[in-house]
Structure 1
Amino acid sequence: MTEHVIILSTAPTRAEAESIARALVEEGLAACVQMRAIESVYRWEGGVEQAAEVALQVKTRAPLAATASARIVALHSYDVPEIVVLPVVGGSPAYLGWIDEAVGGRKR
């Protein structure tokens, strides 16, 4: 199992995205959460919808992924929030070490 993961999610507004991001970082569940404005087209309740959203890219350690995902769901206003966990298969040792330190993992 990989030690680091990126959790992808979206939020309907910048304010909600910021609230989720700050909670994850302040609670030690994420080292960093990046946010960017996006436009999504998706199927919902039998129709095709389009909406402006804010994408969240959460950097954390694999052992925290389930707890961080549950926290996103708890803070989220969507009935079915996007939660996709991707393994990090490589990266800068210094950056991955920083993630470890930021979320209370092993030291670099």
Structure 2
Amino acid sequence: MTRIQKQIPPGRTLYIGSNERTPGFFSPLSARYKVVYSSNFSEILDPVIENNYQLFMVERLIMMGAKTFFKTFREYETDLTLTDDPKKNKNWEIPVYTMDQDKEELKTTH
């Protein structure tokens, strides 16, 4: 919280895009900030977001428009981060998901 306080004045809105599973993990931030999550916008998002990949893309757009953006791990020297630990570089397989692919699969199975 100290890192955030140095960069963001009290009373500002913080959008938390995280897969943290511990209930209340970000609750201490609500003492100084208005904390919001994707679930606060479920009325808007639920009809259009079908998977976590789509939610991730919406959250990336939110982050692009943010005045200040904190990452969890440092990738570049200029990154604002919640930890000094470097990002672990892993060889991830790039997931391929298309809505058209699902539609084609439905046509062939029905």
Bin the TM-score by the shorter chain. under 0.3
Q: Which has the higher strand share?
A: 1
Higher relative contact order (CA 8 A, sep 6+): 1
The structure with more helix, counted as a fraction of residues = 2
* Structure of higher CA gyration radius: 2
